[in-house]
Amino acid sequence: MTAADFVAALPKTELHVHLEGTLEPEDLVRFAARNGVELPWRSPDEVRAAYSYTGLDEFLRLYYLGCTVLHTRADFHELTAAYLRRAAADGVRRAEMFVSPQSFLGRVAVADVLGGVLDAIADARTDLGVDGAVLVIAQRHRTEAEALELLDAVAPWQDSLLGVGLGGAELGNPPSRFARFFADARRRGYRLTCHAGEEGPAGYVREALDCGVERIDHGIAAADDPALVARLRDEGVPLTMCPLSNLRLRVVDDLAGYPIMALHDAGVVVSVNSDDPPYFGGYVADNHRALAEHLGLSTAQLAALARSGFRASFAPADEIAAGVAAVEDHEARAAGSQPNVADAP
């Protein structure tokens, strides 16, 4: 069995994906026409041609422009349902998805944003067998006061939300600026994530940990800081890494030296994710295949990354165990033998 064949049926998680960033060019153009939004492109092919970036800021300009085509609860339901169908086809069992209501302030009510997303998640859980959950993202280019207001705005849906995080333009917006936000979110019972160490330095990862964050989104800068790697290992804080995103945004020059296995081998819990798949050229299985190709990963290594994905999730312990077991079963079938869970990394 080739690595690509192994990846196709490998049970997976997706812990770092922005729902607004899953808009395929065809859907972006369709939503724009439906909602009377004028775009600088006339066709999906023109949209795709624009997806070339020199860095995060350039991508974010296109990302926020894409957000302007989403206007109604039905739009958010369609967006989420389309992503979850693709995720299910990719073998995703657990999807923890970012949503940023701040991108739609003054244009779309929070009730319509979250209502559409949560309804689609409920449908997918029944129809597709994908266990979906929502992480609300605060945008770090805004103020901490606005982030605190966001917690109040989403409070009516708290029981249906998994957690909160911090995203957006990283440089000049360190996690420490949002210490009160993280503290208030933790007091309210949310799980905590933070984008850190993508374009920002390893020090931003350290600041996020000091704020009580339970999972770091990206975190690639930590790979060059042995003391920080040891802290991530010792505290059991996972990294949600996004290879194709890091490549397209020029965080790395190529994937041949991508540090995900070095971090895994050092004891850090790492997972493979897609971030904003149409913008970066691939969904989660594409990211697994890219790592297999460029790093020469074996099926055992691919299975180890998939197990780490389930362990990095915020799912209940029994669901994590079931996901890990599903990976073991797939690996055993591929090898033509029974799984040996005791030997699993």
Amino acid letter for position 152: D
Q: Counting every residue, how long is the chain?
A: 345
Give the residue from 178, 180, 175 showing the smallest Cα distance to 200: 175
Whole-Å CA distances, 184 to 21, 176, 332 = 27, 14, 45
Q: What tokens appear for 117 in the block? A: 């997303």
Q: What tokens appear for 253 in the block? A: 């020059």
> Which among 14, 20, 170, 198 is annotated as catalytic?
198
Q: H-helix or E-strand containing 152?
A: helix 144-153
Q: Is 14 a catalytic residue?
A: no
Give the residue from 17, 93, 85, 16 showing the smallest Cα distance to 330: 93
Long-range contacts of 317-320 (CB under 8 A, 24+ apart): 319/94, 319/131
Question: Using CA atoms in the order 19, 65, 24, 50, what is the torsion angle rounded to 10 degrees?
Answer: -130
DSSP label at residue 50: T
Tokens 């998805």, residue?
A: 97
Which residues are identified as catalytic?
Answer: 198
